[in-house]
Amino acid sequence: MILGRGMAKHDAAIIAEYHQLLADVGHLTNHCSISSARAVPRVMQERIGKPVLSWQEEDILALYDTSPSQNATSQYNLFLAFLLFRGYFCGSIRLLFSLPLQLSVQFRPVLAPTRTKLSTAFQVMGYRNVSAASKYNNDGVGSDLNLLLWCLAIVQKPLEELTREDFDAFKEEYTRWYTEKRVQKSGRSNHVLFRLEQLLIHLKVIAKKPPTPLDYDPYFADFPESLLKQAILAYLRWGEVKYSAKSRHSERRALACFLHWLVEQYPECDTPASISRSISLAYAKYLDQCHQEGIYSANYRYSLHKSIRLFFDFVIDERVSTAPVRNPFSSKDVPKKPNMVPRYLPDSELKVILNYCETEATLLERTITITLLHTGLRAGELAALKASDLVQIAGVYKLHIHQGKGLKDRVIPLTAKCVEVLEAWKQSGWQRANDFLFTHHGRPWSNGLPAAKIIRDLTKKLGLEGVTPHRFRHTFAVALLNYGVRESALQKLMGHATLGMTLEYARILDETVERSFSEAIEHMQEGAMSWVPNFFAQEDYTLFAEGDSVSWIQLPVGFCRRNPKLHCESDVKCFLCERFCATPKDLPRLKLMYERFTKLGLKLKADIVFSQIQQLQALPEPGAPVLIPTNTILKAPSRAERH
């Protein structure tokens, strides 16, 4: 139907129509080529042994398999393309994949207007010419045109009559076949199909597909009908206004898990009111057992229980007819998530990453790294960034985050460095296929996984481990706290729901704590009451022996004799701890620390480190692993002693 609907009813009329098209198009100028092209219908008819309108896919495949030469195959392609273009033969994805038939190079003059439309849209939308260039495909749209011709040949409609329903039907069939035959071999998804859809939307051939509403009924179809099931479905639909799609799927999984357990253990419980306190405790015990067996992590166990607790809060608050009087699930039934210190990037690793960004990194690597570090974005929020999100308000560039975690908007001021890399990306890296800044062949990143992969590959080249986009977020928060940003302001920048979440970052190298500690030590040394508390006094130390090394923890400087499960913040405070010891091997690192603290003007810390250096240098046998009484705070050395 690409070249108009064919109306012939028998072979002679079809062949005559084909001959007339060859004459009208006039793309064959060589006399020998014209003669061969005119003769090919009869040859194919004789070898297949059936009328043209009776040909099946198996007949075509058998004909190509027994083709005597490549030249004969090319002649077959011309007549078969005519049959597909006029609608005399309806092929399938299976056939088109199997044949060496490039529809976009057949009857090129007739296809020129369609090719021009695609090429113009290609340039306007900012797509790069990623298709393989050849003498037949020098404009970069050959693969897109070929796929469009497949679609029109299968749905048997001209381009002007193509509808969204037609394209979706072709897309479903094509994706299914592509997944079975191609992805298993190449491991890549088909970006051309997505790009073609965007091109057709841009050309207003098909309408933009509306988002598909989530249907929870199929997920609970296997469960018996009950008032409890109805309440769960009502809760999930209520959450569509409040929660993101990812959160709703998490809630759905948690509720389905609980319902599955309840049907097995307490089949008689079919209403929310029938869930007693004893049943909730039994479920908490079941979750704990799954955690002990390694099925659920501690975090996932807590999340599953929390989802059920929130569901019963909803039932009670909305006064569902079968609601219990009180929530049978308590937050104390399951241990809370481990109160871990957020994982930030230490200076040593951050310096390596930033040096790489300035010297060797690609534009994409540099953009991702600097943006994450200077904005504290979540990886998913980075993936959803659009060019229009970079705005200028009162002369200051800011980043508008739309519907971040919890569907909250926020605005983040940008540093000059971050503005520089984002502008460079917009000029040289942005594909401009749509408003999204980060795309793959025009397809927006659907989540933060691409950013995570880029960071993982980058740090792997640098010999670093465990670096994730979220660690840049933690580092951003800690840096702002240390430079005096108020916790309430940081809460807005980070998009935290509560201030308590923000205060977690105050536990990491918070200079407020550092300052208080330093002031207290200075009072001990130089104040009116110049004394040292008992817990800083020297006790009976045991010499550090190699055979006892199992009980010691290697630190960047020295060793610590503590339980590995106990958390301890590391800094110069280690030098005041009775569990710490240093060896002469630590002298180079201690000298670097002393120089660093001196340059930063941290006099107290420099003095403490210098006292360690003095004690190590005074050892009679350098290299012997001798425990140094590190918790004795010496009088600050004079300038002459330090130099």
Q: Going from the N-terminus, what domains does the chain have, and what CATH number goes with each?
A: 11-202 (no CATH), 217-317 (1.10.150), 349-507 (1.10.443.10), 528-642 (no CATH)
What value does the mean pLDDT take over residues 7-35? Answer: 85
What pLDDT, on a 0 to 100 scale, did the predictor assign at position 549? 36
Q: Please state the rounded mean pLDDT for residues 545-552.
A: 40
Task: Give me the pLDDT at residue 327, please.
Answer: 93
pLDDT in tens, 475-491: 888 777 777 777 777 77
Q: What are the contacts of 448-451 at 24+ separation with CB within 8 A? A: 448/378, 448/379, 448/380, 448/381, 448/382, 448/383, 449/379, 450/383, 451/368, 451/372, 451/379, 451/382, 451/383
The yes-or-no verdict on residue 551 having pLDDT over 60 is no
Query: At 11, is the pLDDT very low, low, confident or very high (cuts 50, 70, 90)?
Result: confident
Model pLDDT for residues 52-89, shown as the tens digit of each residue: 888 988 988 888 888 777 777 888 888 888 888 888 88
DSSP string, 338-363: P-PPP-PPPHHHHHHHHHHHHHT--H
Average per-residue pLDDT for the chain = 78
What the block records as the tokens of 615 is 């004690």
Read off the tokens for 320. 């569902």
pLDDT at residue 248 in the model: 84
Say if CB 361 and CB 409 are below 8 A apart. Answer: no
pLDDT of residue 341: 54
pLDDT in tens, 337-378: 665 555 778 888 888 999 999 888 999 999 999 999 888 898
pLDDT of residue 366: 93
| 545-548 own/partner pairs: CB under 8 Å, 24+ apart | 545/625, 546/625
**Highest mean pLDDT (candidates 182-191, 455-464, 504-513, 607-616):** 455-464
**pLDDT bracket for residue 504 (50, 70, 90):** low
Q: pTM score, two decimals?
A: 0.51
State pLDDT tens for residues 418-430.
999 999 998 888 8
Residue at token pair 């007693």: 276
Q: Is the pLDDT of residue 544 over 50?
A: no
Q: What percent of the chain has pLDDT over 70?
A: 77
The neighbouring-strand residues paired with 554 are 559
Q: Residue 412's pLDDT band (boundaries 50, 70, 90)?
A: confident
Predicted pLDDT at 257: 93
Contacts of 514 (CB under 8 A, 6+ apart): 571
Confidence of residue 34 (pLDDT cuts 50, 70, 90): confident
Q: If pLDDT is split at 50, 70 and 90, which confidence band does 516 have?
A: low
| Crossing angle (nearest 10°) for helices 298-317 and 277-292 | 160
Residue ranges of alpha helices (H) inside 125-141 are none
Q: Work out the number of other CB atoms within 10 angstroms of the CB of residue 517.
A: 15
pLDDT of 453:
92
Q: Cα–Cα distance between 453 and 436 in angstroms, integer?
A: 19
Q: Which range in 243-257, 520-534, 540-554 is most confidently predicted, on average pLDDT?
A: 243-257
Where is average pLDDT lowest: 122-126, 527-531, 606-610?
527-531
Q: Quick check: 546 pLDDT over 70?
A: no
End-to-end CA gap in the chain: 91
Categorize the per-residue pLDDT at 404 as very low, low, confident or very high, splitting at 50, 70 and 90. confident
Instruction: Please indicate whether residue 571 or residue 44 has the higher confidence score (pLDDT).
Output: 44
pLDDT score at 128: 59
Coil, strand, or helix at residue 634?
Answer: coil
Length of the chain: 643
Helix (H), strand (E) counts: the chain: 26, 8
Q: Are 152 and 163 in contact (CB under 8 A)?
A: no
The values of phi and psi at residue 521, to 5°, are -65, -40
DSSP per residue, 459-502: HHHTT--S--HHHHHHHHHHHHHHTT--HHHHHHHHT-SSHHHH
Least confident piece of the model among 33-47, 213-227, 555-569, 612-626:
555-569
